[in-house]
Amino acid sequence: MADLRFGIVGWGYWGPKIARNLDSLSHASVGMVADLDTHRLASIVVNQPWIQTTTQVEDLLNSDLDGIVIATPVQTHYRLAKAALLAGKHVLVEKPLTASVEEAEELVALAKEMRRVLMVGHTFEYSPAVNELRKLVQSGDLGKIYCVEAERVNLGLFRRDINVIWDLAPHDVSILLYLFGKMPEQVKVQAHAHLQASIHDIAHLDLEFADGMTAHVHVSWLHPCKIRRVTVIGDARMVVYDDTNPAEMVKVYNKGADVHADPVVSYRFGAITIPHIDWIEPLRLECEDFVSSILNERQPRAHAGVGLAVVKVLAAAQKALEEQQRSETEMATVAL
């Protein structure tokens, strides 16, 4: 089977990681890297001289590369992904897919038209822990799901181009959509901009689903501790997925409360179970899925439709935030 050759646009945080993973696969290699900043490209020139470097993205578009990875700021995703698809390339875009719903919809349609794989880097869909959690949810072991609490907080990294919702919430929203396979009906937001005048650094998203399930997503750049936690609360069992605790990533609590006809709530307390999870780096599985989707002409797990759904939720949150700011003292807000 002939090897697939890939180009990377953007040599910042994600670019080198994706390149390393693609390179480690049997049927893939990295052939070209583009970045506007030649300083970033210097280490490639020294350590991996067989990889071509350029500051012109056109060099990748005009090449015979099979696929292009776009690991640049979100505002450029639409333009670059569109150009790559039009050039006949398969495309992996970092999350979020685009900066607006319209852009995402156009890319989804274009990829279909061009018969090319368009994938978005929702890495957590490839996390063995998230997949263990999904298995628990979908097996019915947790019972009816009441709600989910997601937290993703840390000190920084503060972004200057997007707020914390667009920076961190894509992870949690993609996890929610992947776990439950359904879209929320409503999104509410409480958010604050403490450090930079107009860029919110703390946000609480509240999602409601048609069946009564709710989800709360807390994202923040302003917190002393690194917390990466998703708690799924069912009427039969409750699960905590803590991405910062490798030895106990998924913890299943066999406990709950039952409301009875008469005014009595009873409580159940059973064992906690921590399943063993065979760990594989999610980014490697993501890269494998990208390559395999191209070779087998099928949709990857994190296909562009998933990316569009995530952007819809983020855009709704952004809109809620802006509307709220326009009418601070009304609705959902009470002055003391």
Supply the minimum distance, in Å, between the C-beta of residue 269 and a copy of itself. Answer: 5
Residue 216, C-beta contacts closer than 8 angstroms, at least 6 positions apart: 147, 148, 149, 150, 204, 205, 206, 207
- How far, in Å, CA of 181 to CA of 140, rounded? 14
Binding of a copy of itself at residue 274 (CB under 8 A)? yes
Binding of a copy of itself at residue 224 (CB under 8 A)? yes
Tell me the site size for a copy of itself, rule CB under 8 A.
81
Binding of a copy of itself at residue 192 (CB under 8 A)? yes
Binding of a copy of itself at residue 188 (CB under 8 A)? yes
**Nearest to 317, CA basis, from 219, 205, 163, 152:** 205
Binding of a copy of itself at residue 221 (CB under 8 A)? yes
- How far, in Å, CA of 30 to CA of 49, rounded? 12
Supply the minimum distance, in Å, between the C-beta of residue 205 and a copy of itself. Answer: 9
Binding of a copy of itself at residue 82 (CB under 8 A)? no
Dihedral over alpha carbons 148, 164, 97, 24 (to 10 degrees): -90
Binding of a copy of itself at residue 20 (CB under 8 A)? no
Question: Contacting a copy of itself (CB under 8 A), which of 17, 79, 204, 301?
Answer: 204
- Which two three-digit tokens encode residue 260? 């009875």
Supply the minimum distance, in Å, between the C-beta of residue 174 and a copy of itself. Answer: 15
- How far, in Å, CA of 269 to CA of 252, rounded? 12
Supply the minimum distance, in Å, between the C-beta of residue 89 and a copy of itself. Answer: 25
**Nearest to 19, CA basis, from 115, 99, 94, 78:** 94
- Which x/- pattern, by CB under 8 A, does the window 140-159 give for a copy of itself? ------xx-x-----xxxx-
Binding of a copy of itself at residue 223 (CB under 8 A)? yes
Say which residue the tokens 């980014």 belong to: 283
Stretch that binds a copy of itself, among 82-90, 123-131, 206-214, 285-293 (CB under 8 A): 206-214
